[in-house]
A and B are shown apart, each in its own frame.
Chain A
Amino acid sequence: MTDIMVRDFASRRASTPWLVPAILLAILAVFALVMVFSIGFGSTPITPDRVISAVLGLGSRTEQVIILKLRMPRALLAMEAGACLALAGLLLQTATRNPLASPSILGIVDGAALGVVVFLFLFSNESNALVVSVNWQPVAAALGALCFALVVGGLTWLDRRGMSRMILYGIAMAALASAMVTIMIIVGPVYRATQALTWLAGSVYAAHWNDVMIVGGILALAVPFLLLLPRDMEQLSMDDQSARASGLAVTPAFIALVTLSVVLTATAVSFVGGVAFVGLLAPHAARLMVGHKAIPLIVASALIGATIVVAADLLGRVAFVPIEVPTGAITAIIGAPYFLWLLIRRSRSHA
């Protein structure tokens, strides 16, 4: 049914060239709305119009402090993490040609988590302070993610029964990584355990402008690569042979897509923890809305991913006041049923 909708849409899109930009604008508008509400909500509620005026440098002094110092970094970090995860998912799904692939299912998120926990364990001293710069944390996450991605990829290659098996190895390795995380948490002193646990639940609580800068920087670095990819992506979405025939070096393209995906996942995870299912959900939603053309797909995925995480963070704060529910739990509750629906749909269309 999904396929039919997309095909339907494709024909309509051809006859109305303004439709895709219009949809992108609509997504952008929804995203902006969610951002404004997210920044406005809190112990001191601030109405949307005053949020906008404070961001523009007008409005009262207190409101400016609350918004610029406390709430903006949080919302921006959530936005960036969502975009990272969504793009990572899009790249993985393209590279593996498997619509069920996503960073969390392939064990990359747990690998990154292990990297961060090992990092906290090795480089913090008795008084709970890091002995090296916190900027190394994403590097550790990327290393962990890369190791597990390599193992999962290696096992899939050994198996030689196609990309769909990758998910099985991902699940197995994710279980191993999370067991190792548990043991590391118990081995370490209590303060490290609390630090790691809070972070693992997946939350953008206590975000700083510094974090926003780093994630934003990495995201910005990824953009030129992403812009080089569209041609590859469109070719890769064909089968291996036609892709080769159209002059694409399949293996290097595959490695490039997966590596970029791992780096983006690691970046997001090292700052906001294990936020699941966004990497799966966002590219699918984007495909439904703007079709299969690379550039609109990349933009829409990133925007939808950002919207999902910001909305999940907002929902986590609103739903059970005064308690905050971790963003990761909310995205799982939205994402898991969607994944199941997808599983059923996909098998039906295959049958």
Chain B
Amino acid sequence: MLASLHLGLRLYSPVEVWSALTTEAVDSTALVIKTLRLPRMLMAPVVGAALGIAGLLLQTTTRNPLASPALLGVNAGAAFAVVIAVSLFGVSAIWPLAMIAACGALCTTALVFALSAAAGGAASPLNTLLAGVTLAALLNSGVQIVLITDESTMEQLIFWLSGGFADRDLSLLTVAAPVIALSAGLAVAISRPLDLLLADDASAAALGVPVMQLRLVALGLAAMLAGAAVTTAGPVAFIGLVAPHMARRLGGLSHRVLVPMVGLVGAMLALVADIAARFVIYPSEAPVGAVLAFVGVPVLVFLLLSRKREGLAA
């Protein structure tokens, strides 16, 4: 986190950073650190954690190691809802937008699972993934059309849609952070039944887990988390996919450990990606989503190729 304050187009020494944060000085150093660096430093971990936990919830409830907010079209759903709200109804306040993003995420989640259930059961990762990716393509075309037909919206949204932590309004975080904290807390609270859900549905039910209700709650939480993350930082892909797998390597299979762990890993990933984004094409900045793709795609390919979890990986 500290590195995030120091590194960038200009490197600042610890002394400079400290004095900028503690004094009332208004020189350019203080300005850069307070208005540009500080927000991203705070925002990246929160969003990263939210996406990581959302990914974990999706993967556990569907027993599908490929489930993640981006691949299932949840991010695209949130983005589409926000674009429609801004363009057609002129919504600009943050609270309603956050709610709308969460609704969009929720509807898309529901739709993807309904579609894949219709296509032979949500247990088939291939069908779920195909439905998600296709729905994402559809929603993205929708976003494209709205943006083209409404130029004022385009200026307002094109930057947000690129996904990343630069130049975000810090007040977004005051809305998103409580939502994320609450959802994450609830995710920890249901960690014990989630553990049981990792076995098959029948044995989970035999152990007294209300399978359907638990699934609905977990998917709802995932949608809330993804929606809040998307409202804050735009659609950021791959954290939700990669973080759970990294956390599982580190922290075993118990969700009581796994949920906080995945939050931490997601936060780290987002921070590192955000810092890397400032440097890969120095002096200009790469979108965080693009940077994450370079980590995410190899992991995705590895997951697909690995045969150890044959049952999980279809």
Residues of B within 8 A of A343 (CB): 115, 119, 127, 130-131, 134
Interchain nearest-CB distance for B83 vs A (Å): 13
Across the interface, do A169 and B120 meet the contact criterion of CB distance under 8 Å? no
A167 CA to B294 CA, complexed, in Å: 19
The interface size bin for chain A is 35 or more
Across the interface, do A348 and B120 meet the contact criterion of CB distance under 8 Å? yes
Q: Which of B262-294 contact A (CB under 8 A)?
A: 280-281, 284-287, 289-291, 293-294
In the complex, whether B196 has a CB less than 8 A from a CB of chain A is: no
Given A179-B293, A186-B286, does the pair A344, B115 have CB atoms closer than 8 Å? yes
Across the interface, do A186 and B287 meet the contact criterion of CB distance under 8 Å? yes
With both beta carbons as reference points, the residue of chain B lying nearest to A277 in the complex is identified as B137
A324 CA to B284 CA, complexed, in Å: 31
Given A329-B144, A332-B138, A333-B142, does the pair A175, B115 have CB atoms closer than 8 Å? no
In the complex, whether B188 has a CB less than 8 A from a CB of chain A is: no
Across the interface, do B119 and A183 meet the contact criterion of CB distance under 8 Å? no
Across the interface, do B131 and A165 meet the contact criterion of CB distance under 8 Å? no
Across the interface, do A339 and B134 meet the contact criterion of CB distance under 8 Å? yes
With both beta carbons as reference points, the residue of chain A lying nearest to B140 in the complex is identified as A332
A169 CA to B305 CA, complexed, in Å: 9
In the complex, whether A187 has a CB less than 8 A from a CB of chain B is: yes
Interchain nearest-CB distance for A255 vs B (Å): 22
Q: Which of A312-334 contact B (CB under 8 A)?
A: 320, 323-326, 328-330, 332-333
Most buried by B among A172, A178, A323: A172
Interchain nearest-CB distance for B78 vs A (Å): 18
In the complex, whether B246 has a CB less than 8 A from a CB of chain A is: no
A183 CA to B277 CA, complexed, in Å: 10
Across the interface, do A336 and B290 meet the contact criterion of CB distance under 8 Å? no
In the complex, whether B206 has a CB less than 8 A from a CB of chain A is: no
A277 CA to B140 CA, complexed, in Å: 14
Across the interface, do B135 and A155 meet the contact criterion of CB distance under 8 Å? no
With both beta carbons as reference points, the residue of chain A lying nearest to B139 in the complex is identified as A336
Across the interface, do B129 and A171 meet the contact criterion of CB distance under 8 Å? yes
A201 CA to B158 CA, complexed, in Å: 14
Across the interface, do A323 and B149 meet the contact criterion of CB distance under 8 Å? yes
Across the interface, do A340 and B141 meet the contact criterion of CB distance under 8 Å? no
In the complex, whether B304 has a CB less than 8 A from a CB of chain A is: yes
A-B contact pairs, 9 of them (CB 8 A): A105-B133, A168-B304, A182-B290, A186-B281, A277-B137, A320-B148, A326-B148, A336-B138, A343-B115
- Residues in B lying within 8 Å of A, measured CB to CB: 66, 71, 115, 118-120, 124, 126-127, 129-131, 133-135, 137-138, 140-142, 144-145, 148-149, 237, 280-281, 284-287, 289-291, 293-294, 296-297, 300-301, 304-305
Further pairs besides A155-B304, A343-B115: 16, Cβ < 8 Å: A155-B301, A158-B305, A172-B300, A175-B296, A179-B290, A180-B290, A328-B141, A329-B148, A330-B141, A333-B141, A336-B134, A336-B138, A336-B141, A343-B131, A346-B119, A347-B124
